[in-house]
Homo-oligomer: A and B are copies of this chain.
Amino acid sequence: MTPVAVGIDIGGTNTKYGIVDRNGKALAEASLSTPKYEDINEYVAVVSRAIMHLVDSVPQKVSIKGIGIGAPNGNYFTGTIEYAPNLRWKGVIPLADLFNKHFHVPVVLTNDANAAAIGEMMYGGAKGMDNFSMITLGTGVGSGFVVNGGLIYGHDGFAGEFGHVTAVRDGRLCTCGKKGCVETYASARGLVLTVQELVSASPDDSNLRHILPDELTPKHVFEAAENGDPIAKAAFESTGKILGQSLADMVAYLSPSHIFVFGGVAKAGEWILAPTRRYMEKNLMPIYKNKVKVVPSGLPDTNAAILGASALIWKELD
């Protein structure tokens, strides 16, 4: 029997799930619609059946050691999802308990960025590291902070919201209700908004002028930058400046050896990483300069969320 962990990544649109062995190899994976299920009990029943179906689909016999779940507003201490704005289930949802009733194995729940951080530590670029940070630049901006070899959960299970640190006082309105959060600049939507501002303000010719705002993605901006587009390059410079300034503050809190960057915006590689590093260094206290490495995540793009969620179990069992 091959020991495996189940990884479940719950997003507002899709729930991805898979079974993963101790070495981080996904033996099987699949996904289903999250908002299709208004009733949480029905959702858990459907996902549980789908997992058993995956187990049956692989050639080897497997033994499920636990279930790791990454979910928005996931609380590690209580195993609950609490008031997640992008999910249909309102209030406090005892998700870990509900899955435990189906599988009778340990269930560990936290937010997706924390799960990614543990994934980075188990399977990615952070192997053997005790003090590092994981930043996810996707639809939103998330973070997982590892200190002394463990995640920072805070007293309530909700620590590590780098996306909602103030980057620009009285800046862009954030979905959280605050203004100027890192997320409003360094998320996919933030980058697109910066492009739109630059397009309005600049006379420069740019291919990005010919893409409908709703259809513009970080990938378009990356491709334009690769083709020498001045608006695209300026957008990465501006985004890297704000991100780098905020990371300099993060270093003053945590002094990580590495900052791993993951997600749609991070796929632009050096276009975003180079200005981020430059502005971070510029804003660091002397004692921190030239020490902290800002690097792309070592997790695979395709199933990082499932790997990260499953890694929660191996970390817990270690």
Which of A30-38, A144-152, A209-217 lines the interface with chain B?
A: A144-152
Which of A41-49, A97-105, A159-167 lines the interface with chain B?
A: A159-167
A160: chain B residues at CB < 8 Å are 253, 255
A177: chain B residues at CB < 8 Å are 285-286
Q: Is the CB of A162 within 8 A of B245?
A: no
Q: Is the CB of B154 within 8 A of A255?
A: yes
Copies of the polypeptide in the assembly: 2
Q: Is the CB of B254 within 8 A of A253?
A: yes
A286: chain B residues at CB < 8 Å are 83, 176-177
In the assembled complex, the Cα of A249 lies from the Cα of B252 at a distance in Å of 12
Is residue A248 within 8 Å, beta carbon to beta carbon, of the partner chain?
Answer: yes
Q: Which residue of B lies closest to A82 (CB)?
A: B287
Question: Chain A at the B interface: mostly helix, strand, loop or mixed?
Answer: loop
Is residue A29 within 8 Å, beta carbon to beta carbon, of the partner chain?
Answer: no
A166: chain B residues at CB < 8 Å are 245, 248-249, 283
Interface size class of A (residues with CB under 8 A): 35 or more
A77 CB to closest chain B CB (Å) equals 11
Q: Which residue of B lies closest to A291 (CB)?
A: B156
Is residue A169 within 8 Å, beta carbon to beta carbon, of the partner chain?
Answer: yes
Q: For chain A residues 263-318, which have a beta carbon within 8 Å of chain B?
A: 283, 285-288, 291
Is residue A78 within 8 Å, beta carbon to beta carbon, of the partner chain?
Answer: no
Q: Is the CB of B154 within 8 A of A147?
A: yes
Is residue A220 within 8 Å, beta carbon to beta carbon, of the partner chain?
Answer: no
A73: chain B residues at CB < 8 Å are 287
In the assembled complex, the Cα of A299 lies from the Cα of B34 at a distance in Å of 51
Q: Is the CB of A287 within 8 A of B83?
A: yes
In the assembled complex, the Cα of A287 lies from the Cα of B165 at a distance in Å of 13
Q: For chain A residues 64-106, which have a beta carbon within 8 Å of chain B?
A: 73, 82-83
A83: chain B residues at CB < 8 Å are 286-287
Is residue A172 within 8 Å, beta carbon to beta carbon, of the partner chain?
Answer: no
A140 CB to closest chain B CB (Å) equals 12
Is residue A22 within 8 Å, beta carbon to beta carbon, of the partner chain?
Answer: no
Partner of A254, one of B132, B159, B176, B252: B159
Is residue A250 within 8 Å, beta carbon to beta carbon, of the partner chain?
Answer: yes
A283: chain B residues at CB < 8 Å are 166, 178
Q: Is the CB of B248 within 8 A of A250?
A: no
A168: chain B residues at CB < 8 Å are 169
Q: Is the CB of A253 within 8 A of B255?
A: no
In the assembled complex, the Cα of A154 lies from the Cα of B292 at a distance in Å of 11
Is residue A229 within 8 Å, beta carbon to beta carbon, of the partner chain?
Answer: no
In the assembled complex, the Cα of A152 lies from the Cα of B146 at a distance in Å of 10
In the assembled complex, the Cα of A254 lies from the Cα of B254 at a distance in Å of 10
Q: Is the CB of A252 within 8 A of B169?
A: no
In the assembled complex, the Cα of A256 lies from the Cα of B156 at a distance in Å of 8
A155: chain B residues at CB < 8 Å are 129-132, 255-257, 291
In the assembled complex, the Cα of A255 lies from the Cα of B249 at a distance in Å of 16
Q: Is the CB of A288 within 8 A of B158?
A: yes
